[in-house]
Structures are given as C-alpha cells and as structure tokens.
Chain A
C-alpha cells in the first residue's frame, strides 16, 4: 500500500463545473459569515447607533457595555468551566462506549448480534419520559452529580449506527489474515481496525464534543449547584432574561441600560469565540485524518 496523491488526478482540470462549485461554496460561505459579522457588530455598538444604521459595516463608536454586563461576576466563567469538565469526562466515555459497541455489531459472527442491534435501535425510538429517567438517576444516587450528566448521554445511537456502518465497510479479509496469525478480537480492533477507521472516529469524536459543548437539558434538571451550570444553560438564561415576555421577570430586577439585542449578540460572541479559535486547529488534524484514512489495501 502506498499513498497516492488524490490531487493530481482529480483536480487536474478546471472546467466550468469547478468554477461553479468554487463560486457557489464561496457565496454560501459569505451568507453564513455576514450575519455573524453583523452579530459581532451589534454587540459592540450602542442601541442608538444600531437603530439608526441600516447597513453597518464598521462601527462608528465602539460601546462595550454589553460585554461588561455579561462578564460581571462569574457567570460565564462558571459556564465555561462546567462545560469543560463535562467535555473532558464525557467525550472519552462516549468514544469508549460507542467504539465498544460499533465494532462488534459490525461483525456478523456471533450469536445475538442482530438481537443486540435491534435492542439498540429500539431504544432510540421509544422513551419512557422524564419522570422514569429521573427516578432511575435518583435511585442510583446521582442527582446533583455531574456523573449523571456524563452517563445519561453515554451513547448516541445515531452516531453508533454511523460508526457501525463504517466498520462494516472495512474488508473482512484483514480480520481473516489476522486471525490466522493468532490475533484475538481486541487486538484486531485496536491495532488494525481503529487506524483504518480514522475518518469515522474523527467525525464521531467531533460530534460528541460539540454535543457535550451544547449540553444543557439534563444539567438543567439534575444539577443544583450554582457553580456547576453549563455554558449553554447560562446563555439561555441570559437571553431569556432580556427578551422574555413574562411578567415575573419584572420582579427579578429591572433591566440595565444596554439594549437586549446587544446583550444577546455579545453572549453569542463570547460563546463562539473559543470554538472559532480552536476549531481550525482541530479541523486541520481532522481533515488530515480523513485524508490519511483513504488508504485501502
């Protein structure tokens, strides 16, 4: 096996089609980028300027009150810290459990394989609701414990299916030769299969990471420690406080002199920025991983 550069063959010609693609993707990229840029602008100007400038491209006066409001106290810090803990504990567990199931399920050579797979998919479709789940967690003694958050979303069946599907496409011949050489299944999985499955591993790793980053629902129900609240939950609280229509919030304290859109946009920018900084680095490896995975015997 030797790596072949895809590029020379595939991208040799520039025809009308490729021009079309470049432009279409570029335009789509702009359509995505502009609202974000706009959001950053809104977060940095005063309400007055926002209401009076239809097409803001550059702010006239930078007004960072929205950020000051948000960064007051430890609110966002708690969010970042909690979400980071959830990430660092949760994602490895996710990968461990998912790989552990995806690989065997992709091999059609043991009793019960089909049954277990049905078992897994069925659970994706039916649910008993929140009360039973709450009771189970409580009986495990895990309420108000971050472990509950880590465990409840231990496997995303959708991702499991994707991974299993990918494993299925890896030729059995590799296993056969390894078995002949005396390897057991664990060796096959870790030494042979995983390196070949880098694209799907990177993909699922990314998916789980982002899911954990966005997680707020189960923390909302189970966590009661005000220093253990994930970022997304805090963000939702902030946005809700400044935009809700419900009267009770009048009692919670009157609004600060920053307009609600500004706060919303500042909150977005603060949540997005770490991701925007980290993602290109992750993606570089991720794309490289994908490229390397295109090795086939």
Chain B
C-alpha cells in the first residue's frame, strides 16, 4: 500500500473517531444547571413548578442500561414536579473514592449520593465544594425537617458549622424506631425445627454458651439429615462472628471509645479477650464453618437457607427476614418456613444484650455548589415529598389501583407473579424504584409495616428488637468521636478492619491471650498516638 494512502486512511479513522465520539459522547456538560424554559405541563399541583428543570442525579442504586423511558414511577415524579431526571450510576465497589474525586475536582452532578463521612463533609463544606442548603429549609420543607430531626444529626451538623449551615441531607433510617434508641437489627436465625428435634428451647436472648450447646447438638445429632459431620453449626463471617461472640462482652470493640473517662481502642478493652476465647474455642471445636474467614457476604445465608447450617447471624429487619424465609421455602417446599426458623439475639454474661446505639441515618445526598437556588428548591420539594407517607406508599408498594388496592383495613397486592409464584419485584417494573427507595428514607422504617412482607416476618423483627431493648445495655452515641478529625485518627485504618484482625488472632496457633497481647503490643505506638490525640482534644470539652 502506498504510504500516502495509508496515512490518509489513518487520518480518516482519527477524524471519524472524533466525530463519532463527539456525537455519541455524554449528553451532560460539566457541573452547573441548565434549565429548559418549559411549557407548563399537567401540574394540578402548584403554580410554582412552572419552570422545567433537568436534574442530574448520581446514586448507587441506578443500574446500567436500565430502561427509564417507560418507567412509570419515574414519570410520575417527573410530571408531578415538572422536571426531567437524568440518572447516573456510580460504580459500586469504589463509590466513596469516585464521589470524593468528583467533589474535589468540582465536577458534581446536581445531586449526588454521599457516604457521609463527617470529616469529608466538613472539609468539603469548608472548601465550598458542596452547596449550602437554605437556612429556612426546616421551615419550608416540614418533612425534610422531620428527616433531619429523626436522623439525629440535623442540629449537630448545623451547630458544628461556623455559620450554622447545612450541606447534606442524611438518609434517615427510622421515623418510628421500634426501640427508643436506634440499634442494629442484626440477629441470629436458627432452625427451630431442628432445635425441637434435639430438645433444646431457645429464649429470645441467648448466651454464647447456649449457642454453643445448640450448635453442638446440631452437628452431633444432624437433625437435618445432612450426613455425619456435614452439618455446619454456625454460618457466619468475620463481621458476624465479632458481632455474635465478642460484642456480648464488649459492644464497643470495633472502634475507639470512651471507657472510664478516657478513650481507648476497642480491641484493647476488657471483655474483648473473653469474646476472643469463645470465638477460638468455637473454631477449634468445629462449631464454625472451617473457612469462615474467607466467606463473603451471602455465603453464610446460602448455607443456612439450603439447610447445611443451623445457625445464621444476619440482618434482622423485616425485608431481610422475608427474603430468608422466602428463599428457605423455595429450597424446602415441604416445610413451613415460619415454623422452621426462629430468631434470637445475643446476651452477655450479665444477661443483657449489649450493643452500641446506632446513628439513625445512612449516607446522604450532597449538591453541586454552583446549582441554582431555584433548581435546588425544586429538588428539595421532591425530596420533601418523598418523605411523606403518600410517596412512601407509592415507592414501596406501587400505584394504588395498579399494584395494590385497599380492602377495608388491609392492603391487597395486585402485583403479578412469576412462574414460581413469587411476586415480581417493584424494581423490575419500575427500574427507578430502588433510587426512590433510598433517596431520603432507607426503607427499614417501611419494612416494619410493609403489607407485602408477611406479618410473621415483621413480627419476628419487632419481637427481637423488643427483646434486645428490654434487657439491653445500649451504649449511647458519641458524636464528638464520630465527628472528630485529627492527623493520627484519620489514619486509623492502619490498625486494620477490626473484624478481620480479630479473626486473624483466632486463627493463630497457641494461646489466644498471648496472641492478643502481642498483637496489641505491635500496634501500641499507633494506638497510643491516636488515643493521645483523642484524649487531648475531646476530654476537655
């Protein structure tokens, strides 16, 4: 081929490439608003929505390639508020880093998911990288005011800001928590039918020793018929085992906390060693899955649901319980799931359930600093509406008359079912549903009263909550620590993820006390650097 011809071909390809990509490239421009002067559509609502806005929103629940054009739920919200949403997915496994990068580079969409690490929130707000929300937000948007109040941090954020401004909307977990203080719903599932067979009855709270007895009986007597030695006692990974076996002795094991007036590191606190001993004994006796330390999130659940394991530590809110019951039933059609599965929580040597109070929010939404105030207002209207019961019903149940209807007091589902008789999930009909479902409220609240979740599952969750609270030692939240930023403390990641570190200790040969002490010794310098920093800053407040 003549050289000139080759060059021209290559040049043509380059030109073609530029043209193609200019046409096919993203439709969005970098940050900033871009309202389209709109015709008023079908708002029976309020005249103040006469300008049509195009909102770019990035969130982690948005799936690639989803067909939002025919999504009726999205259309509903779009029409109600005279907006157009452009939904941007965020990569799941590096969401925090990606969003931090976008914020720091000044390239946020109009609104964006944010993981609400307070130090980042503070830094970003100080540097003007995220938008300050209106001072009268709580007045004009009563539902958002409720969200802020229930989350427990609305006032905290404002009071810690030098100008009293707020820069993010947290996603609240419970409007009406089943317990006075919000606590984790993580609980223990077990095979009640097997327990009956081996003659053990479990109360709503169990000690680690009682759990050991149960596991032992399951393994030795094999009530599930798995074959000798094939039944797994407890299906749980590092996180769950820490929660199950160590937290009853020291609920604050996963982080620094204030103990007897001073800050210490969780794993160094008393009680940790007792928990570790229990854990190691369980492991060495064979009550745990032999590869518990490499399990990923769903492995334990798979084992329990398939009947290979008799005890499972897992999320215990209504949604998840229902999922477990449902999957169990699919694999054991001849059993009654609600009879076969029971739930309890852990208690410490003093008979109480020990747990740290949780914050009542999870992640949040931040806004582009250059967003127009009017556009921001529109978004806040939308978010305010999402927090209402009417909107929550639509988001969680679907549209009245189409997906459900009222019959007297009860709500009857009209959702179609698939071949196996399972209700087709809302998100399959309305791809944007997970987005709405996690925008302002996380859905834990609704799952307590979701009519699509069988009452048995909901009751199981609520009963366990009540049992935890009744005999519970709930360690109150320490906002000072939660919102602390210091050069050493910010690098506490070097100490490792506590769940995994403790698992590492358990797996080592030899005496656990020696191992534990040596491990703490090796980290002493860093631990002391951090506790000194904390004590210096926080004790004198």
- A/B contact in complex, CB under 8 angstroms: yes
Contact B425 A253 (CB under 8 A): yes
CB contacts (< 8 Å) of A224 on chain B: these are 26, 28, 56, 58, 88, 109
Contact B17 A92 (CB under 8 A): yes
Question: In whole Å, how far is A270's beta carbon from the nearest beta carbon of chain B?
Answer: 14
Task: Select the stretch in A25-33, A111-119, A225-233 that faces chain B.
Answer: A225-233
Contact A51 B308 (CB under 8 A): yes
Contact A186 B67 (CB under 8 A): no
A165 interface residue per 8 A CB criterion: no
B495 interface residue per 8 A CB criterion: no
Contact B93 A78 (CB under 8 A): no
Show the binding face of B for A, using Cβ within 8 Å: 1-3, 6-7, 10, 13-14, 17-18, 20-22, 24-30, 56, 58, 60-67, 87-89, 91-94, 98, 101, 104-107, 109, 237, 239, 296-299, 301-303, 306, 308, 315, 317, 319-320, 322-323, 326-327, 330-331, 362-363, 422, 425, 427-428, 431, 434, 437-438, 442-444
CB contacts (< 8 Å) of A229 on chain B: these are 64-65, 89
Question: In whole Å, how far is B68's beta carbon from the nearest beta carbon of chain A?
Answer: 8
Contact B21 A146 (CB under 8 A): yes
Contact A260 B302 (CB under 8 A): yes
CB contacts (< 8 Å) of A221 on chain B: these are 98, 101
Given A224-B28, A260-B299, CB of A253 within 8 Å of CB of B92: no
CB contacts (< 8 Å) of B320 on chain A: these are 250, 254
CB contacts (< 8 Å) of A146 on chain B: these are 21, 24-26
Candidates B29, B65, B319, B437; contact of A75 at CB < 8 Å: B65
Candidates B17, B61, B64, B98; contact of A89 at CB < 8 Å: B17
CB contacts (< 8 Å) of B21 on chain A: these are 89, 145-147, 150
Candidates A73, A93, A236; contact of B92 at CB < 8 Å: A236
Task: Select the stretch in A9-17, A102-110, A129-137, A201-209 that faces chain B.
Answer: A129-137
- Which residue of chain B is the closest to A223 with respect to CB atoms? B26
Contact A144 B28 (CB under 8 A): yes
Contact B65 A89 (CB under 8 A): no
| Extra 13 A-B pairs, beta carbons < 8 Å, given A138-B107, A146-B25, A252-B60 | A74-B66, A85-B24, A89-B20, A89-B21, A143-B26, A144-B30, A147-B21, A190-B7, A225-B26, A227-B64, A248-B60, A255-B301, A260-B299
CB contacts (< 8 Å) of A47 on chain B: these are 302, 306, 331
From 67 to 118 in chain A, residues with beta carbon under 8 angstroms from any chain B beta carbon are: 72-79, 85, 89, 92-93, 96
A-B contact pairs, 14 of them (CB 8 A): A74-B64, A78-B64, A92-B13, A135-B105, A150-B21, A186-B3, A187-B3, A224-B88, A224-B109, A226-B87, A227-B64, A227-B65, A236-B92, A254-B319
CB contacts (< 8 Å) of B106 on chain A: these are 138
Question: In whole Å, how far is A86's beta carbon from the nearest beta carbon of chain B?
Answer: 10
Which A-B residue pairs are the 10 nearest by beta carbons?
A74-B65, A144-B26, A78-B65, A145-B25, A254-B323, A243-B296, A190-B3, A147-B21, A260-B298, A220-B91
Candidates B94, B104, B427; contact of A253 at CB < 8 Å: B427
- Which residue of chain B is the closest to A246 with respect to CB atoms? B297
Q: Mark A30-68, 1 if CB is under 8 A from B, else 0.
A: 000000000000000001100100000000000000000
Contact A147 B22 (CB under 8 A): yes
CB contacts (< 8 Å) of A141 on chain B: these are 30
CA distance A115 to B227 in the complex (A): 72
CB contacts (< 8 Å) of B30 on chain A: these are 138, 141, 143-144
Candidates B18, B104, B322, B326; contact of A257 at CB < 8 Å: B326
From 223 to 269 in chain A, residues with beta carbon under 8 angstroms from any chain B beta carbon are: 223-229, 233-234, 236-237, 240-255, 257, 259-261
Q: For chain A, what secondary structure do more than half of its interface residues adopt (helix, strand, loop), or is it mixed?
A: helix
CA distance A240 to B3 in the complex (A): 49
Candidates B239, B331, B434; contact of A48 at CB < 8 Å: B331
Contact A252 B434 (CB under 8 A): yes
Contact B64 A234 (CB under 8 A): yes
Question: In whole Å, how far is B224's beta carbon from the nearest beta carbon of chain A?
Answer: 13
Given A189-B3, A190-B6, A248-B363, CB of A226 within 8 Å of CB of B88: yes
Contact A244 B297 (CB under 8 A): yes
Question: In whole Å, how far is A289's beta carbon from the nearest beta carbon of chain B?
Answer: 16
Contact B67 A73 (CB under 8 A): yes
Which of A76, A135, A145, A226 has the most chain B CB within a 10 Å cutoff? A226
Contact B298 A237 (CB under 8 A): no
A23 interface residue per 8 A CB criterion: no
CA distance A249 to B442 in the complex (A): 11
CB contacts (< 8 Å) of B66 on chain A: these are 73-75, 226
Give the A interface residue count (CB, 8 A). Answer: 66
CA distance A238 to B431 in the complex (A): 16
A191 interface residue per 8 A CB criterion: yes
CA distance A65 to B394 in the complex (A): 29
CB contacts (< 8 Å) of B434 on chain A: these are 252-253
Contact B17 A93 (CB under 8 A): yes
Contact B10 A92 (CB under 8 A): yes
Contact A131 B306 (CB under 8 A): no
CA distance A248 to B88 in the complex (A): 18
Contact B25 A144 (CB under 8 A): yes
Candidates B6, B93, B302, B425; contact of A244 at CB < 8 Å: B93
Which of A131, A223, A225, A247 has the most chain B CB within a 10 Å cutoff? A225
CA distance A186 to B14 in the complex (A): 18
Contact A257 B3 (CB under 8 A): no
CB contacts (< 8 Å) of B438 on chain A: these are 251-252
Question: In whole Å, how far is A36's beta carbon from the nearest beta carbon of chain B?
Answer: 21
- Which residue of chain A is the closest to B24 with respect to CB atoms? A146
Question: In whole Å, how far is B157's beta carbon from the nearest beta carbon of chain A?
Answer: 20
Question: In whole Å, how far is A261's beta carbon from the nearest beta carbon of chain B?
Answer: 8
CA distance A74 to B98 in the complex (A): 24
Given A251-B438, A254-B320, CB of A237 within 8 Å of CB of B26: no
CA distance A252 to B323 in the complex (A): 13
Question: In whole Å, how far is A63's beta carbon from the nearest beta carbon of chain B?
Answer: 12
Question: In whole Å, how far is A5's beta carbon from the nearest beta carbon of chain B?
Answer: 28
Contact A131 B104 (CB under 8 A): yes
Question: In whole Å, how far is B470's beta carbon from the nearest beta carbon of chain A?
Answer: 25
CA distance A247 to B327 in the complex (A): 20
Contact A134 B296 (CB under 8 A): no
Question: In whole Å, how far is A2's beta carbon from the nearest beta carbon of chain B?
Answer: 23
CA distance A261 to B298 in the complex (A): 9
Contact A255 B323 (CB under 8 A): yes
CA distance A225 to B66 in the complex (A): 11
CA distance A105 to B291 in the complex (A): 53
